[in-house]
Chain A
Amino acid sequence: MSLLAPIAQVEIRERTGESCVADNGFCPSWIADNYDRYVTPFIEHVVLTVVSVSVGFAIAFTLALIAHRRRWLIGPIAGVTGVLYTVPSIAAFFLLQPITGRGNLTAIVALVAYTLLILFRNIMTGLANVPAETKDAARGMGLTDRQLLWRVELPLAVPEILAGLRIATTTTIGLATLAFFAGGGGLGAQIDAQIFFKSNVVVAGGLAVLLAAAFDLIILRFQKRVTPWQRPAVPA
């Protein structure tokens, strides 16, 4: 009896596991056994997000610096990035394929397009919120326009810029679950592969949510570190 007991247990476990999987249910044991199949999609998802947000930030930042000097460009840039933002994401993933083909590139181009409006507007807001008297004092002390931008305006815009980065990152992680329509892989492809199997959907979806939360926390931490001046006053 004592010898048979482990075997019996294994059998029971397999049987319930099988029936759970057969029912497309939520099966912890299946998840534990099949965890490794999520590693690659997860990494793909992280890469999609990081690359898209980085490229989007580089473009939005450049546009913001140009518009900061040539104010008349703010309207047109906000308009164009706004239109990009309103294109339905699934449509974008399909529409781009004739131009960029199926794969990562298409997915990234579409995801970048969605980050631009959020990032551009937040950078512009951050720069616009720098107090006029701070800029006046800086100029009056002999800072050049370039020094004013890099030493005063941008550091003071950091909280708004990073707030934009958080929204853009979270949004991109969500949108990237559709990137498989463009052949971009990621957790979305894994969801789609077994979309009626609860265990699969919960794990793949849950990983996307965790990823978003993790990025949000990392950026928030970073913001706290680089803006010590925003901490509440220390008692005298």
Chain B
Amino acid sequence: MNSSDVAHRKAEQAHGGAASLEFRDVSKRYPGQEEPAIEKLSLEVAAGEICVLVGPSGCGKTTAMRLVNRMIEPTDGEILFDGRSVMDRGPAELRREIGYAIQQIGLFPHLSVGDNIATVPRLLGWDKQRIRSRVDELLELVSLDPHDTRDRYPAQLSGGQRQRVGVARALAADPPLMLMDEPFGAIDPINRERLQNEFLRLQAEIRKTVVFVTHDIDEAIKIGDRIAVLKKGGKLAQYATPAELLMYPADKFVEDFVGSDRALKRLALQRVRDIDLWKVAFARVGEPTREVRAKVEDADLPIALLLDDRKRPLGWLSERGLQGERVEAELRSPAEPVVELDDILRDALSDLLTNETHYAAVVDASGQVAGVLSLEVISRFLHAAPTESRHGAELVES
């Protein structure tokens, strides 16, 4: 176990839980503007879920987020944070309980990384010792070396490091709710994907309630447990899980917004284990041919897969292998490509297409055959109702 595992454990033990959030008929109008910025927005975010607010620019997604910590005050309606109206408390007091991370990060250039992260704990009056150990713990949590980073100034960090410090700072007082406004928006695509993955890993551990704003539907689908699609004037077009959103867009606007490749996007959400695979006839060398033929009759595929004695695929059996009394090792084609149960469906499909084949054997983590994935299986899946697969949870398992 390395030191960062220890830090993760500690964070898990220390974490102050998550709070629910609810918008009730919330509206925001600016004087002199005809269109409201937010109109009668109602949505609930369960504790520990990531709610992504997504939409084109000017749809009010950032406004909606800023209403939560009273950076903007609503004109109408109510926002309940942990069952309590946000208007019940003073803005400063409320904000110290809600993590806040923005695209431009907004680190204090005149303070060291450690002092930046210590901002809210100091406001809350934590003692020095507690702050110091919390800073180191958080730096490890966001994959930065405390000894190397703690005393540096923000100007001495790379963009990705600054972004991590921003997230660590938002998490410092272990808030039950996090607001994140395009936190990875200014990062190059490669680092962005890495930060997204890191964030999902982090979230799998700390399980905060998160309101995440982005204009990027792919990011929304990847990050969100639920996605709120907003359209101009702050109207909620649809609030659904990523799979539902891709499968049943509520209207033309959402359909256009999720893009014409929404079928492929759904494949990116699912793993091979999530779908009903084809049954296949197994054969072993020396097995009675008659039995294998009978199994082929029952299977979805008219050929048998030859396995070794540990149930690992050797290849597809040819007709000649079945001509004698007993099965012989005569292959029509090798087992390649082989996909794994944990593979993302889109990657598995890509494997099939690159290998110019319609089907492939699927194996589990130990290499044993679990079934067959075929183009028809994938196509059938895309026409079926979305399953309630939570990719976040699966990341923890794997």
Which residues of A pack against B, CB within 8 Å? 131, 133-144, 147, 152, 155-156, 158, 227-229, 233-234, 236
Contacts and interface: CB of A to CB of B under 8 A. Distances in A.
A152 B109 CA distance: 9
B108 interface: yes
Contacts of A234: 152, 156
8 contacts: A131-B104, A133-B106, A138-B119, A139-B95, A140-B102, A141-B95, A142-B92, A233-B156
Closest 4 CB pairs of A and B: A137-B106, A133-B104, A142-B96, A140-B100
A143 B106 contact: no
B393 interface: no
A107 B95 CA distance: 51
Contacts of A229: 109-111, 153-155
A135 B105 CA distance: 11
Contact of A142 (B94, B107, B108, B109): B94
A140 B69 CA distance: 7
A192 B71 CA distance: 62
Interface in B73-109: 91-96, 100, 102, 104-109
B281 interface: no
A227 B111 CA distance: 10
A228 B152 CA distance: 10
Interface residues of B, number: 31
B120 interface: yes
Contact of A155 (B94, B110, B123): B110
Interface of B: 69, 71, 91-96, 100, 102, 104-111, 119-120, 123, 148, 152-156, 166, 169-170, 179
A135 B94 CA distance: 17
B110 A227 contact: yes
Contacts of A142: 91-96, 120, 123
B156 A152 contact: no
Contacts of A227: 110
Contacts of B123: 141-143, 147
Contacts of B153: 228-229
Contact of A136 (B93, B106, B155, B166): B106
A134 B92 contact: no
A138 B108 contact: yes
A124 B179 CA distance: 32
Nearest to A228: B153
Most B CB atoms within 10 A — which of A137, A142, A155, A227? A142
Contacts of A135: 106
Nearest to B156: A233
Contacts of A158: 110
A163 to B, nearest CB: 16
Contacts of A147: 123
Contacts of B108: 134, 137-138, 152, 156
A137 B100 contact: yes
Nearest to A157: B110
Contacts of B91: 142
A142 B166 CA distance: 15
A231 to B, nearest CB: 8
A139 B110 CA distance: 16
Nearest to B109: A229
B120 A141 contact: yes
